[in-house]
């Protein structure tokens, strides 16, 4: 099974997404299966390292926290936009990270970029420094503290 379908979950996910994006028909099922198998074989050619979370049971709590923060951030950004541009102070924040696991760093980058009002700009692996852009620095938010406490800490517990 692993020789023909090296990543069966990825293949099934691609097939499912293909069918959700297109109308269901036998032709789309076959085409989605072909794309899924090719994607699985391409992924195995990349030889990604196995991800082994140490404390996987903490993942749902982190996911709920992120979803809540995204909702709150949406409301905050909408309020800033409605108040007008003159009250926003956009800028960059440099944050020293202790997180070193590449997979956890990828998740952190996804979280911060998915959060309205923030964007992951640059990460220096040698020094562990993250450059984050925030839509409003003038509201007194401690961006470094938020990233470390709300996201980096749980990710370190899960993966390191």
* Per-residue pLDDT reduced to its tens digit, 18-64: 999 998 899 999 999 999 999 988 888 887 777 788 898 999 999 99
For residue 1, tell me if it sits in a domain. no
For residue 3, tell me if it sits in a domain. no
For residue 92, tell me if it sits in a domain. yes
Q: Are residues 42 and 61 in the same domain?
A: no
Rounded CA separation 107/10 (Å): 18
Domain that holds residue 31: 8-46
Would you place residue 76 in the very low, low, confident or very high pLDDT band (cuts 50, 70, 90)?
A: confident
Rounded CA separation 18/34 (Å): 11
Is residue 1 scored above 70 in pLDDT? no
Distances in whole angstroms, Cα of residue 96 to Cα of each of 48, 83, 102, 125, 128: 27, 32, 16, 11, 6
Q: Are residues 29 and 61 in the same domain?
A: no
Q: Are residues 31 and 83 in the same domain?
A: no
Token readout for 61 is: 């709590």
Q: Are residues 116 and 42 in the same domain?
A: no
Rounded CA separation 99/107 (Å): 11
Q: What pLDDT, on the 0 to 100 scale, is given for residue 34? A: 93
Q: Are residues 25 and 62 in the same domain?
A: no
Q: Are residues 16 and 79 in the same domain?
A: no
For residue 90, tell me if it sits in a domain. yes
For residue 124, tell me if it sits in a domain. yes
């Amino acid at each position: 099974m692993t020789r023909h379908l090296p990543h069966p979950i990825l293949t099934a996910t691609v097939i499912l997404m293909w069918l959700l994006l297109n109308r269901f028909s036998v032709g789309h099922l076959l085409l989605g299966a072909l794309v899924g198998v090719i994607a699985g074989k391409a992924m195995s050619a990349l030889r990604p390292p196995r991800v082994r979370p140490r404390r996987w049971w903490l993942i749902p709590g982190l996911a709920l926290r992120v979803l809540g923060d995204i909702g709150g951030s949406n409301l905050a950004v909408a309020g800033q936009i409605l108040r007008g541009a003159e009250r926003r102070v956009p800028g960059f924040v440099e944050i020293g990270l202790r997180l070193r696991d590449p997979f956890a760093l990828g998740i952190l980058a996804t979280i911060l970029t998915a959060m309205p009002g923030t964007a992951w700009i640059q990460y220096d692996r040698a020094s562990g420094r993250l450059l984050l852009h925030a839509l409003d620095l003038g509201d007194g938010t401690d961006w470094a503290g938020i990233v470390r406490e709300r996201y980096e800490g749980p990710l370190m517990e899960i993966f390191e």
